[in-house]
Amino acid sequence: RGYELWQHPRVPLLGSAQKGHAWVAQHYSWALDRVFTERGHSHAILVEDDMLFSIDFLRYFQSTAWLLEADPSIWCISSWNDNALKQYSWDERRMFRTSYFPGLGWMLTRTLWQELGPKFPKEHWDHWMRLDTTSKGRECVVPEVNRNFNIGVTGANMEQGTYDKYLSKMVVSHELITDYGDMNYLLKTEYEDWMRGVMESAHHWGGAVTSADVIINSMGSQHEGAAIVLTYVAEDYARLAEGLGIWPFPRAHHLHVSYLRYKGVLFLLADARFCPYLPTSLRMQPSASLLPLPAERGDDCIKTCELQGRRCSEKDFWFINTCKILAEHFPCEKGCALVLGPDIPNYVEDSSLNTYQQCLVTQQQTKCAARHPGTTRLCSCIL
């Protein structure tokens, strides 16, 4: 049916000095409004201008589109597996569910855009998609083997060092696949039953992880076909990731467990705080006396907790680092955002900051002693 080229004036909604990610977010919002609202299309696939595509790229999306209608817990289909590095073994026909929004080639429906469009952010759109208040527990379906390859060595959200270490080593499908088989295993109940069974039968590795080979060699001839659970806490994940050669913070995980296949072994990386498939003996629970307490503006959490006869617990920050919990303590008039900083989670009260009236969450370890003159912290206080 041919192609249409749409263009519109580049008008910066956050000022002339806005960052590249802001231009992308604003363009996506304009384009999706036009696709869904003006043209009335049912589905849209978003890609970027520095991608190469597999032979079956469109067939893959066509074949999986029905999942978006059949299962309300699936909100997007993506062509990108964040962990699809060449050193691991992947199945070109197999897919999995991920709670971590992947982007980089993804499909959504008009119904979803009707929900997201009115509050779509003007910057950091992908971070916003990963917030608990945006995803609402929904997941994306992604292929084990990528259906696109990123050739953008530098860009709005990319530096050459990161590209060379990760993106340049990603696998992409070169096979013309016409049949992906029965995909019912991707439906919520079926998939969770499968993962639960795998986790229950897996062995737990309690030692240090310097490499996958070290673990395999320690198992001897028993490693073939084995499943091994590697538990972690978020603040130590980078060390685990370095040993396995993957991204330094968790990606491509389903309910806080991701998997890698290597030399016949299925490695399962599970967050000890939040993975529901782990037995109680392997779970890290919040401190029994944990109480989230808002600080005074500009105060640190050491002072805040001491004023209430408590002490600040850094390991418990992870349990209160959600948009939902922040909204129980602050107005969050302009929603929630994911940023990095040692004083987060917090609420921004300084009107000169571009995050004014937002509640902020983070993906790095928070510090009790940190403070910012323009924010009000939420502190993890224990007895």
- Residue 154 has a pLDDT of 63
- Residue 155 has a pLDDT of 61
Q: Which bin fits 124, alpha (ψ -120 to 50), beta or left (φ > 0)?
A: left
**Residue written as token pair 């709005």:** 156
pTM for the structure as a whole? 0.92
* pLDDT, averaged in runs of 10, over the chain (383 residues): 83 90 94 95 93 95 98 98 95 97 94 97 94 96 95 67 85 93 98 97 89 86 82 94 92 97 95 97 96 97 97 97 97 94 96 94 95 97 98
* DSSP code at position 89: -
- Residue 324 has a pLDDT of 96
Residues forming a β-bridge with 271: 232
Q: Which residues are catalytic?
A: 126
- Residue 153 has a pLDDT of 67
* DSSP code at position 207: S
- Residue 243 has a pLDDT of 93
- Residue 301 has a pLDDT of 98
Exposure string of 213-234, with b = 16+ CB inside 10 Å and e = fewer, is: eebbeeeeeebeebbbbbbbeb
- DSSP per-residue string spanning 232-301: E-GGGHHHHHHHHTS-SS--S-BTTEEEEEETTEEEEEEETTT-TTS-GGGPPPPPTT-EEEEPPTT--H
- Residue 156 has a pLDDT of 57
Cα distance between residue 361 and residue 68, in whole Å:
28
Largest distance between two CA atoms of the chain: 70
